[in-house]
């Protein structure tokens, strides 16, 4: 459906250009996922909009009858497109980004986190599904849906951010969603890699990359909605390459030294008796979270106790308490 004199052919051209070369596509959900060339995939009601490890659209899944008006009710900018279910009014709405964001590039992690915070805030304001992983979306060019093409002008991140209050992302793997999973996975694996490269200096690069991929795959299982294996692979390879290439540099040594200092602060190597029980409680909360992160990365209890400089019984207790709270 053409809307507000927006040229649908212009939108189709932009949308087509941003699609993966061979997107996933589906006839129905639940159903079987196919991989097809772009033209074939566009014939399906559901399609993969963003390429692997790249975000060109922010897509939100709104499961309520008045989903079409959710953006307006939330005082958010007009989306580029809305694909609405003709029967129940549920919809996917999409915002095109003027500059697609790579989710695995070490040098762009600040931008990924910025985008993740925007996505998190928009999800809250729209009342969108926090469990929606974004891999497959309603195809805004398929007549299965009531499609509204509202604009072909892509958005800058700063403009989108002006409409919301950006809060810190959740840190527990069981609570993060959307692009927050990419940030958490990146942090979990890179922190491990900073240490592990010291002990695996005699391995080949292929062995190193395989080890990093194994850690990333293991950490990914800690999410309530795990990332697609391609994204996990992209993140693992990016970390493996950067750490392998830079672990002997002064920059890497500075990063590693800061991580060690932070670990010491979290592990009680520096005490804070001036604030009494509250300071100790905060310290133990940090230790519990660190223990869970290392556990999700695949470290054994003995290894965790050595890394955090705490006893094995304490590790067991921390893991048990975190899991109960989660």
- pTM of the predicted model as reported, rounded to 2 decimal places: 0.72
Query: What are the pLDDT digits (tens) for 9-46?
Result: 899 999 999 999 999 999 988 888 899 999 999 999 99
C-alpha angle with apex 160: 72 to 224, nearest 5 degrees?
90
* Rounded Cα distance, 7 and 27, in Å: 27
Buried b (16+ CB within 10 A) or exposed e, 107-129: eebebbbbbbbbbbbbbebbebe
* Rounded Cα distance, 152 and 81, in Å: 9
- Give the single-character DSSP code of 162: T
Q: How many CB atoms lie within 10 A of CB 324?
A: 7
* Rounded Cα distance, 287 and 57, in Å: 37
Mean pLDDT of 119-141: 94
Query: What are the pLDDT digits (tens) for 43-102?
Result: 999 999 999 889 999 999 999 999 999 999 999 999 999 999 999 999 999 999 999 999
Q: Which segments within the chain are labelled E, that is strand?
A: 24-26, 34-35, 46-47, 54-62, 81-84, 91-102, 137-138, 146-149
Of 10 and 277, which is predicted with more confidence? 10
pLDDT of residue 160: 96
pLDDT of residue 202: 80
Beta bridge pairs of residue 96: 57
Nearest to 24 by CA among 11, 13, 38, 10: 38
**Which of 107-111, 170-174, 267-271 is predicted with the least confidence, judged by mean pLDDT?**
267-271
Of 311 and 29, which is predicted with more confidence? 29
- Structure tokens of 80? 């580029």
Q: Please report which confidence band the pLDDT of residue 5 belongs to, taking 50, 70 and 90 as the band edges.
A: low
- Give the single-character DSSP code of 44: S
- Give the single-character DSSP code of 87: T
pLDDT of residue 314: 73
CB 33 within 8 A of CB 26: yes
Query: What are the pLDDT digits (tens) for 169-179?
Result: 887 888 888 89
Q: Please report which confidence band the pLDDT of residue 271 belongs to, taking 50, 70 and 90 as the band edges.
A: very low
Of 248 and 2, which is predicted with more confidence? 248
CB-side exposure of 164: number of CA atoms within 13 Å?
24
- Structure tokens of 270? 């520096």
Mean pLDDT of 257-273: 50
> Is residue 128 within a helix (H) or strand (E), and if so which, with residue range?
none
Q: Using alpha carbons, list the distances in angstroms from residue 160 to 118, 119, 120, 127.
A: 7, 9, 12, 17
Of 313 and 100, which is predicted with more confidence? 100
CB 58 within 8 A of CB 94: yes
> Is residue 314 within a helix (H) or strand (E), and if so which, with residue range?
helix 312-325
Q: What SS3 state is found at 138?
A: strand
Rounded to the nearest 10 degrees, what angle do helices 276-296 and 301-308 cross at? Answer: 140
Query: What are the pLDDT digits (tens) for 201-260?
Result: 788 999 999 999 999 999 999 888 888 888 899 999 999 999 998 877 665 666 555 555
Q: How many CB atoms lie within 10 A of CB 66?
A: 12
């Amino acid at each position: 459906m053409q809307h507000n004199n927006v040229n649908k052919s212009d939108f189709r051209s932009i949308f087509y250009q941003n699609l993966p070369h061979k997107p996933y596509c589906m006839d129905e959900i639940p159903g079987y996922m196919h991989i097809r060339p772009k033209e074939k995939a566009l014939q399906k009601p559901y399609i993969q909009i963003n390429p692997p490890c790249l975000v060109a659209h922010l897509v939100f899944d709104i499961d309520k009858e008045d989903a079409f008006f959710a953006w307006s009710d939330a005082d958010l900018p007009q989306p580029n497109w809305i694909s609405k279910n003709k029967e129940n009014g549920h919809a996917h709405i999409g915002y095109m980004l003027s500059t697609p964001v790579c989710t695995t590039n070490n040098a762009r992690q600040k931008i990924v986190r910025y985008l993740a915070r925007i996505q998190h805030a928009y999800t809250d304001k729209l009342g969108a599904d926090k469990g929606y992983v974004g891999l497959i979306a309603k195809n805004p060019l398929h007549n299965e849906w009531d499609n509204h093409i509202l604009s072909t002008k892509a958005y800058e991140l700063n403009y989108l951010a002006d409409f919301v209050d950006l809060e810190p992302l959740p840190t527990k793997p069981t609570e993060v969603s959307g692009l927050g999973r990419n940030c958490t996975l990146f942090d979990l694996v890179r922190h491990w890699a900073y240490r592990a490269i010291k002990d695996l200096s005699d391995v080949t690069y292929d062995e190193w990359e395989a080890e990093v991929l194994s850690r990333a795959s293991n950490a990914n299982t800690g999410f309530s909605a795990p990332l697609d294996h391609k994204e996990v692979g992209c993140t693992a390879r990016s970390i493996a390459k950067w750490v392998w290439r830079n672990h002997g540099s002064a920059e890497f040594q500075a990063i590693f030294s800061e991580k060690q200092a932070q670990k010491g602060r979290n592990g009680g190597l520096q005490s804070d008796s001036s604030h009494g029980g509250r300071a100790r409680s905060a310290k133990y909360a940090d230790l519990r979270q660190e223990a869970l992160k290392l556990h999700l990365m695949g470290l054994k209890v003995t290894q965790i106790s050595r890394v955090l400089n705490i006893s094995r019984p304490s590790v067991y207790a921390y893991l048990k308490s975190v899991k109960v709270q989660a």
